[in-house]
A = this chain, B = another copy of it.
Amino acid sequence: PGDRVFLCQTVSGSYAEYGTVNECYTHPLTAALDFKQGAALGVPYFTAYRALCIKAKIQSGQSLLIHGASGSVGIACIQLARSRGLTVYGTAGSQDGLDLIKKLGVHHAFNHREEGYEKRIMETSKDKGVDCIVEMLSNVNLQKDLDMVSVNGTIVVIGSRGNVEISPRSIMAKEANILGVMLWNSSEEEMQETVREVVKGTESGELVPVIGKEYTLEEASQAHFDIVNTKSSTGRLVLIP
């Protein structure tokens, strides 16, 4: 009792000043992070860990493209990939987003609203393509990812808002791997590993959530509107009770 904790699952809901949560879903919040950052930790960092380390099994020395890097999961992927020794490509849709991801350590930053950015990514990779891509908006980008991934490379599908047309021949020609991620499918062992590694990263200072806009609890519906309609993100939106 009295411990500072963060969580990613509640019994009573988290749009609240107080809440009930099963003890096994609470995790120690390192002193270096405030509660706003704690609120931005659970789902994004656990998802990033599952995508990169459990699904894609990233290795030091590989290249990673974060397609949509300035949102909360993207930021978590940047920090995780940097901590594991990858070369990190990232995209954002605004100058603020680009400034943010560069500050967070992306090696190669691209504006995904600029014509021809895919070509510049390929040139940067010396036309080999990138070893791994994490994709936040698959309905728009999945075929572009198939064009940019390396032979035997991996695309991890984290987000999508609709259907997409693709050419399965691109999957065959490169022997690409497309893997879906859904945090709630984690086995108990995987979840334990995920929590352990994320907590370790917060304690070492490598994983530090970035807060975007803050809202009062009364503004919750506005926050939902904004997350769907804002063209470029710069960190996690949080509700402050």
Contact = CB atoms under 8 A, between A and B. Distances in A.
A-B pairs with lowest CB-CB distance, top 7 = A138-B168, A160-B168, A171-B180, A178-B178, A172-B180, A175-B180, A157-B171
Interface in A114-172: 135, 138-139, 142, 151-152, 157-160, 162-172
A199 to B, nearest CB: 23
Contacts of A221: none
A139 B167 CA distance: 8
A179 interface: yes
Interface residues of A, number: 33
A181 interface: yes
A194 to B, nearest CB: 14
A173 interface: yes
Contact of A171 (B165, B175, B176, B178): B178
A26 interface: no
Interface of A: 55, 135, 138-139, 142, 151-152, 157-160, 162-182, 185
A55 to B, nearest CB: 8
A160 B164 contact: no
A185 B152 contact: yes
A92 to B, nearest CB: 21
